[in-house]
Amino acid sequence: MSSPANFDSLPLFACLSEADRRELATHAIEVPIQKGQFIFQEGDAADWFHIVKHGNVKCVKSSPEGREVTLKVLMPGDLFCCEASAFAGEGHPGCAQSMGEGTVIKIHRKVMLDVIQRNPEAAVNIINYLSLRLREAQDNAKAFALDRAEQRVAAILVNLTQRSGIQEANGIRIGVRFTHQDLADMAGLTKETTSRILSRFKKEHLISGTGNKLVIQDLPRLQHMAPHPFS
């Protein structure tokens, strides 16, 4: 990486000096990723912090029955979903898998901790950042427990639109490419149920297109259907 400016938009690094961000950039390693590739798997040592530079990555957790649930979809600039484990030196509680071709930035936890320890202000920033991630996890758990299937799908589409939406003539195109199975995993539903819901949304002119180019045609109605936002 040639410039510490790549870190400026990350909440975790907001209070670091330019010199410290430059140090992180010096130690950062860029790794190309391919669709379906696991960047790390559940139980692997959390020795590295990961940041998405290009493409999209999903954080996945397996249930005791073997069912996979996508906990979060990461966009460019996002720090990966297991920061708390990296800070604690524990194993990853889930997997991270690429949704397509892209690039991931890796920073060793020792480098990160050395920089943070020299900046007491960063401790407060970290607490706030991890508190936000905990609240996101609680919101997701509430949605799984209380919301109907179509509400879960609507909430995910709203979240993806807000985070990656691109305004076009016929609506807002979601900037993440995903399959019906990806969306089903995010919502904790079967692929068949998810496909039926998407078909109904299309008939009601809420959406159009496919996962490779899904366009939101009526965002306000989807927002009204989604009482608990997915993160």
* CA 25/CA 3 separation, integer angstroms: 7
Q: What's the pLDDT tens digit per position in 41-71?
A: 888 888 888 889 899 999 888 777 777 778 8
Q: Which two tokens stand for residue 208?
A: 């159009």
* CA 31/CA 225 separation, integer angstroms: 39
Phi and psi angles of residue 35, each rounded to the nearest 5 degrees, phi first: -55, 130
Q: What's the pLDDT tens digit per position in 116-166?
A: 788 777 777 777 777 777 777 777 777 776 689 999 999 999 989 998 999
For residue 112, the surrounding DSSP H or E stretch is helix 109-117
In a domain, 231, yes or no: no
In a domain, 230, yes or no: no
Which pTM value belongs to this model? 0.77
Domain shared by 158 and 55, yes or no: no
Domain shared by 74 and 100, yes or no: yes
Inter-axis angle of helices 120-146 and 149-164, to 10 degrees?
Answer: 150
Domain shared by 138 and 171, yes or no: no
Q: Which domain holds residue 206?
A: 148-225
Q: What's 71's domain CATH number?
A: 2.60.120.10
Q: Which residues neighbour 65 within 8 Å (Cβ) at sequence distance 6 or greater?
A: none
Domain shared by 133 and 186, yes or no: no
Number of residues that make up the chain = 231
- Largest Cα span, the chain: 57
Give the number of domains in the chain.
2
In a domain, 48, yes or no: yes
